[in-house]
Chains A and B, each alone.
Chain A
Amino acid sequence: MAMDEILDGMSEVSCDVLVIGGGTAGPMAALKAKLKNPKANVVLLEKANVKRSGAISMGMDGLNNAVIPGYATPEQYTKEITIANDGIVDQKAVYKYAENCYSIIEELDSFGIRFLKNENGDYAVKKVHHIGTYVLPMPNGETVKKALYRQLRRARILISNRYMATRLLTGADGRIAGAISVNTRTAEFLVIKAKAVILCTGAAGRLGLPTSGYMFGTYENAANSGDGYAMAYHAGAALANLECFQINPLIKDYNGPACAYVAGPYGAFTANNEGARFIECDYWSGQMMLEFFNELQSGKGPVFLKLNHLHEDTISEIETTLHKVERPTRGLFHEGRGTDYRQQPIEMHISEIGFCSGHSASGVFVDEFARTTIPGLYAAGDMASVPHNYMLGAFTNGAVAGEHAMEFADNTDFAAFDAADVARERDRVMAPTKRDDGIPPNQVEYKTRRLVNDYLQPPKVTRKFEIGQRRLAEVRDDMENRMVARNSHELLRALETHSILDCADMAAHASLYRTESRWGLYHLRTDYPEKNDDDWFCHTLLSKKDGRMSSEKRAVEPYIVPIADDEKDLYDKQRVRTSA
């Protein structure tokens, strides 16, 4: 059999807890679920290979949100994240993360992942955020995936690589019943019955099109095509604040982080073409991105990350980290351009749009137990709605999800699903393979993402969004009726295109619903330019109702950490003041 040949096959397995996505949150969720009940079956399903999948495929250079005793308290962190998100935060989930993350750091340390310590043996935490101190470098951050994988093997987690989940199954009572998946190299189906399911499929990182025109030159791992958002939506779960896009300051063309969080604490900073600082703080927020965008548009653009004023020893240290971990081809890219940190500043640009709670505040709605609005369905990591998660949030909330999901599974039986749902899904998935002629997935995907750039990229304009929606509907018609896949690899891309287009539709719908501007550049509507707290100090929840996309308001839960009036707008003051 040749790889990528399309085979006809269908099998069914069952497990107590099914984790979909083996990047960061997923492995931790699977591990914690299994440790909670070692007799139970835990399956970890992964579209790629757990050894090297997800955002931390090549490791991570540091923790961006470590709440470490002696440096910060859970109260301070909860306050900072609330302010950074214009107040639209359910604090319980943020506070729970802040309380739990230190024990996760200690656990990661016990797995062999080291964190930077000072001469006294204390964690050497650095300041990057606007107010508090939360950044902890990881000198051997390239070992993260390997260390996790060892733990998964030791706990005897059942790992199924190269299976893409395409739809969730629910029972008649609305409870989760499992998932349908397809092998990405043979197109064979695997139906997994489960008492609880945890979605950990990462960001929607292949939504906008990178300006280089290279479709896979995305900031996020390009495998993160938004499958979890699409699956949750079609299962009837609510998705929160999707209009709060993720847009990042990245190395122009390379489209990866520069990375100011690593270099900033050593004295590097974001500069305009005069070499001058124009933002107070390099921590990624919508307000910071708006100032970045304004500077790019002004006569003082483009924008650079400036390191060339630093001492040789400092630059070497930064270079070693940046060219070894997270996105190691950074070094190769700079070499090709003849950029040396000692001589030239690094040209920066803003990324295409995406969904990612890792840095913003959108995602499948979850509470402080990682529960979605569907009983038995959990979500964690970049795709769940806890804001500013980063890697440590994925680990910490993944752990919460794993433990809670196992508790749920222990007290429930399998929900019965309708066999017709599986048959229908099989027809939908296989449709592109039944055509001899048509449009290949890469063209459908390119067009979708080009329309996202043309019509949905902020600044957002109502009329443009409406035109964009019409054009996306035309592409959907092509996707559903004319897309052709000639082998199982093309089928994988075709299925990802479905996720991408679903996310594009959700991005447009959610943005039109919130008729105000909020979160800086992330939801800047030029025809509703002001923040309107009277009408819009609330979450928005998007869900599928009677087969149609629908949005509603949801009140912000009462704060458990109060924010004083004079603190509320601290993140609005990002621009460096020109006078005292």
Chain B
Amino acid sequence: MLKISGWSLIRLYTILIYAFMFAPIVVVLVLSFNPEQFGSFPMKGFSLRWFVKLAHNEPILHAFKNSLILGSLTAVFSTAVGILAAMAFVRYEFPGKNTLNTLLISPIMIPEVILGVALLLFIRWLQQPKSFALLVIGHVVLTLPYVLLIVQARLVGIKREYEEAAMVLGANALQTFKEITLPLLTPAILAGMLFSFTISFDDITATLFWATAQNQTVPVKIFGMLRNSISPEINALGTVMIILTIAAPLLAGYLSRKFAKGA
């Protein structure tokens, strides 16, 4: 009897923690459909009013475009650099391997404020203005450690033997890469790109240092809007962001399964 009640307490506690974690998300989703002028309770019906208003908000659409381009460029560069480094760590033995691995991953623990100031000081010294390129470079530095961690975990499973078998059977280096290595790498590449895209798309702190009035991303825009007060439009924008960031991993999961079947 005691065992059962102890376990149900643990289960109840866990459910409460889930409620805590999801409360802010659920509240945004619910409030974004409130037609009221002020984004707060009580709910006075169900309306898409704020989504329609959002769709006509030029500055936000512009920020969305910026965020998408920035996220995509970050994903490409960060994953390319990350995959190469991960191959070195997974495939080869060389002196200082563990130290270098820790060195490349440790930026995760450096506060974004420090990264923000550091890169800004650096381009100031180079006498360059803040630009979109700075955002891309900054976001690659921010996402690289995560990409390296994710991709490395995926790559461990790919055995050297597959490639050697292809070579023995008469494939040349290019064929081996195209037929064996690349298909095996695809899930790792997708995971890396998805991860870096999401981190870049969501990033706020470092981006606040690097963004200019022309290069605002969606989170920077939201941050600016919050200075006035919390409007229902922000909740609607939040709903769009939540749906996007949940849909993206699901889509990637679906695609990678499709790839796996096709192979």
Co-complex (A, B): no
